[in-house]
Structure 1
Amino acid sequence: MGINKFDVKKLLNDKKFWFASFLIGWAAALQGHMMWLQRQDSFKQKFGTTLDDQNTNESTEEL
């Protein structure tokens, strides 16, 4: 009955570990970005557009 020791050096040299870590970090960042976009949309629905957006739309309509 041998007990397997957890080898940190071997883990840090493993490319699968770094790929999985990158993938988890990317997924967390994507989820945070999507939540931020959802907050922006709900803010726009609640308060409407700002004066800057209205001025930008008016200037592009004149072209």
Structure 2
Amino acid sequence: MEASKLLKEKRFWFASVLIAWAAGLQGHMMWMQRQDSFKQKFGDLNQSKDADGDLNADV
């Protein structure tokens, strides 16, 4: 009885969606941070420059 009453409440669904959104946002931010640390460690492969300052097209 309690579970069916809980599933009918809008506050429950709002809280569930809010928690899922926050978890997704946190996962996305962690992924972005991992991408940034990779670029700092290895450089941006698409924008790497050679000694002359020209863009390197050997990717």
Shared fold per TM-score greater than 0.5? yes
- What is the Cα-based RMSD across aligned positions, in Å? 1.6
Please identify runs of 4+ aligned residues in structure 1 that moved more than 3 A. none
Identity %: 67
The structure that is helix-richer by fraction is 1
More relative contact order, 1 or 2 (CA 8 Å, 6+ apart): 2
The aligned length equals: 49
| Secondary structure of 1:54's aligned partner | coil
Runs of 5+ unmatched residues, structure 1: 1-5, 59-63
- Structure exhibiting the larger radius of gyration computed from Cα positions: 1
Runs of 5+ unmatched residues, structure 2: 49-54
